[in-house]
């Protein structure tokens, strides 16, 4: 939470209610809140979408000229990013306030039942709650050991990328990778060394893909990657980058074992097939490649 000035975006079309909020935030005479006032959802969304403007918390009336009710909140939640949201309701709309919290707001206030102290407290707590929620969501989508996305995170992000590919009518590549001989590394050198091998494998993948690509550890020795670069020859190019990166790692003179992957690469058309199904196909291709390498 900001240590100096908290930036508040007030979305309120009633001049009297807006003036009251401004006065309540100035009650103590402190300058720890900086308030910007807009009167429509459209203005609020535009301001929240501007990367040059920081907003810590949104104070949102749910009855506005261009939107009302929970539809108002949903539009602002989508644009809010790291900003917390406190909604304001009328005295007869407390149930709406509760529904708003279930839909993504951090708190609600009833007009006419708020003073400066309770308003300031609600705004600060909303910021803290939202930051905590973002941190928990991030942890739930990340693999603790490697820092890559976990299986859940991969499926969430990959579905978003697949939708983008469909809109652009472009294919994409989905890779399923298995780190070879992890059990042997664990049995010979111990599980701590096996964990180091997994971290090394994750770093190899990071070096071979762009930031816009999606990389994940699905669990155990299994990894996945997704890239929109599905032009002719890109599968061969990806494998060449992986081979080169593994060659650098394995060229260390004091290495006790070589790092390698078995890889299945599935070229996916933008036809709406669920990512989970595509991942299963890439997994099957990986096992076929692993079998061929053993013969």
CA pair distance 147, 215, nearest whole angstrom: 10
What integer pLDDT is reported at residue 190 of this predicted model? Answer: 96
Residue 230 in contact with residue 173, Cβ under 8 Å?
Answer: yes
What integer pLDDT is reported at residue 14 of this predicted model? Answer: 93
CA pair distance 225, 242, nearest whole angstrom: 12
Each residue's pLDDT tens digit in the chain (295 positions)? Answer: 444 689 999 999 999 999 999 999 887 666 788 999 999 999 999 999 888 888 999 999 988 998 888 888 999 998 998 899 999 988 677 778 878 887 889 988 988 888 888 899 889 888 988 888 887 777 788 999 999 999 999 998 898 888 878 877 888 999 999 999 999 999 999 999 999 999 999 999 999 998 778 999 999 999 999 987 655 458 888 999 999 999 999 999 989 999 999 999 999 988 889 999 999 999 999 999 888 877 5
CA pair distance 8, 13, nearest whole angstrom: 16
Residue 198 in contact with residue 219, Cβ under 8 Å?
Answer: no
CA pair distance 90, 67, nearest whole angstrom: 16
Identify which of 257, 129, 115, 263 has the alpha carbon closest to the alpha carbon of residue 200.
257
Chain centroid to Cα 60, Å, comes to 24
Categorise residue 147: left if φ over 0, alpha if ψ from -120 to 50, beta otherwise: left
Count of C-beta atoms within a 10 Å radius of residue 61? 22
**Which pTM does this prediction carry?**
0.60
Biggest CA-to-CA distance, the chain:
80
Sign, CA dihedral 23-25-29-34, equals negative
Long-range Cβ contacts of 193-196 (<8 Å, 24+ apart):
195/145
The catalytically annotated residue of 61, 93, 180, 221 is 221
Q: What is the 3-state secondary structure (H, E, C) of the chain?
A: CCCCCEEEEEECCCHHHHHHHHHHHCCCCCCCEEEEEECCHHHHHHHHHCCCCCCCEEEEECEECCEECHHHHHHHHHHHCCCEEEEEECCCCHHHHHHHHHCCCCEEEECCCCCHHHHHHHHHHHHHHHHHHHHHHHHHCECCCCCCECHHHHHHHHHHHHHHHHHHCCCEEEEEEEECCHHHHHHHHCHHHHHHHHHHHHHHHHHHCCCCCEEEEEECCEEEEEECCCCCCHHHHHHHHHHHHHHHHHCCCCCCCCCCEEEEEEEECCCCCCHHHHHHHHHHHHHHHHHHHHC
What integer pLDDT is reported at residue 233 of this predicted model? Answer: 54
221 is catalytic: yes
What integer pLDDT is reported at residue 1 of this predicted model? Answer: 42
């Amino acid at each position: 939470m900001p240590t100096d000035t908290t930036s508040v975006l007030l979305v309120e079309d009633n001049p009297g209610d807006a003036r009251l909020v401004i006065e309540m935030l100035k009650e103590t005479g402190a300058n720890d809140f900086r308030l910007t006032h807009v009167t429509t959802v459209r203005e609020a969304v535009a301001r929240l979408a501007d990367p040059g403007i920081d907003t810590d918390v949104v104070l949102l009336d749910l009855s506005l000229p261009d939107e009302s009710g929970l539809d108002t909140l949903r539009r602002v939640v989508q644009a809010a990013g790291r900003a917390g949201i406190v909604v304001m309701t009328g005295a007869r709309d407390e149930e709406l306030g509760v529904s708003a919290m279930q839909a993504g707001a951090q708190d609600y206030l009833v007009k006419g039942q708020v003073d400066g102290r309770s308003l300031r407290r609600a705004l600060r707590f909303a910021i803290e709650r939202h930051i905590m929620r973002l941190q928990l969501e991030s942890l739930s989508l990340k693999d603790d050991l490697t820092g890559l996305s976990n299986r859940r995170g991969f499926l969430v992000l990959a579905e978003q990328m697949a939708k983008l590919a469909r809109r652009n009518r472009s294919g994409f590549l989905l890779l399923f990778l298995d780190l070879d001989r992890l059990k042997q590394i664990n049995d010979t050198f111990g599980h701590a060394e096996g964990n180091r091998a997994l971290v090394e494998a994750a770093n190899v993948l990071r070096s071979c893909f762009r930031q816009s690509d999606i990389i994940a550890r699905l669990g155990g020795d299994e990894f996945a990657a997704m890239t929109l670069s599905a032009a002719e020859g890109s599968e061969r190019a990806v494998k060449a980058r992986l081979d080169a990166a593994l060659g650098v790692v394995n060229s260390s003179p004091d290495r006790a074992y070589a790092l390698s992957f078995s890889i299945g690469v599935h070229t996916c058309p933008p036809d709406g097939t669920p990512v989970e199904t595509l991942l299963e196909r890439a997994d099957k291709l990986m096992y076929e490649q692993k079998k061929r390498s053993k013969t």
